Amino acid sequence: MTAASKNVSPRERVIVALDLPSVKDAQVLVKQLGDSISFYKIGYQLGYAGGLDFARELIADGKQIFFDLKLHDIGNTVNKGVESIVKTGATFLTVHAYPQTMKAALDASRGSPLKILAVTILTSYNDGDVTDAGYVGNARQQVERKSLQACELGIDGIVCSAEESAMLRPLIGNDRLLVTPGIRPAGADIGDQKRIMTPAAAIKAGSDYLVVGRPITGVADPKASADAIVREVAQATS
Ligand SMILES: O=c1ccn([C@@H]2O[C@H](COP(=O)(O)O)[C@@H](O)[C@H]2O)c(=O)[nH]1
């Protein structure tokens, strides 16, 4: 956990991934979760189904929004895209951790409250997947290399697995955020994730924010699951 997030409550540290097919489904879930959750992530599925406008509604209702759009394009395109995202009032936006991309995003967000997060190596990748993607070295080494590059450019935060949080914290310092998907409460279905940690272990390893999707959205009682995860985070931070 960083100085940058020291005043963040356990509830705000749990970001629910709204990976749902429609705004209607998302509205139902957000209502079910009520005050248990205050931070939502919108990615491809909902984003391409009206989620960008829905984000504005959530922000107007006092929720925080993480746009997980994983931008990667020529600098000018990324820069203009980020300018549009700044106007929504979102809190976080992801870009892939490529230097031109990160620089363009940071230039566009400068002076705004939007924080740019660099996606290093996806949590669904193991070492074999990293090799298949054409990288030299293993997942951990690539996460380290990309994170250092991102920090040199002045990135606001890193997206990685919580498995790398303890290794990264001393390297990236206390002012940058570690945002970690691939969170699985003990006994939860792992799905396609490969580099995972429990909520408590992730917080203890130094993660600032935990991204949780299916362990909340895919269970019979999402609110009970969310409350249990927030409790686990609270215990781990106390
Ligand atoms: O490396 C990454 C980057 C982003 N994600 C996103 O987080 C959620 C995780 O959902 P679960 O259902 O809890 O697996 C999902 O929206 C991904 O797109 C990630 O998993 N890993």
ipTM of model? 0.99
Instruction: Provide CB contacts within 8 A for 21, sequence distance 6+.
Output: 45, 46, 49
Please check if 19 is assigned to a binding site: yes
Residue 222 CB less than 6 A away from ligand 1: no
Q: What is the position in ligand 1's atom list of the atom closest to the CA of 160?
A: 1
CA 153 / ligand 1 centre spacing (Å): 24
Provide the residue-wise pLDDT of the chain in tens; the chain has 238 residues: 667 688 999 999 999 999 999 999 999 999 999 999 999 999 999 999 999 999 999 999 999 999 999 999 999 999 999 999 999 999 999 999 999 999 999 999 999 999 999 999 999 999 999 999 999 999 999 999 999 999 999 999 999 999 999 999 999 999 999 999 999 999 999 999 999 999 999 999 999 999 999 999 999 999 999 999 999 999 999 8
The catalytic residues are: 68, 70, 73
Residue 212 CB less than 6 A away from ligand 1: yes
How many structural domains is the chain composed of?
1
How far is 232 from 29, CA to CA, in rounded Å?
21
Please check if 76 is assigned to a binding site: yes
Domain ranges, residue 82 = 3-237
CA 159 / ligand 1 centre spacing (Å): 10
Task: State the pTM of this model.
Answer: 0.98
Residue 211 CB less than 6 A away from ligand 1: yes
> CATH code at 139?
3.20.20.70
- Pocket of ligand 1, candidates 194, 209, 211, 212: which has the most ligand atoms within 8 Å of its Cβ, to mutate? 211
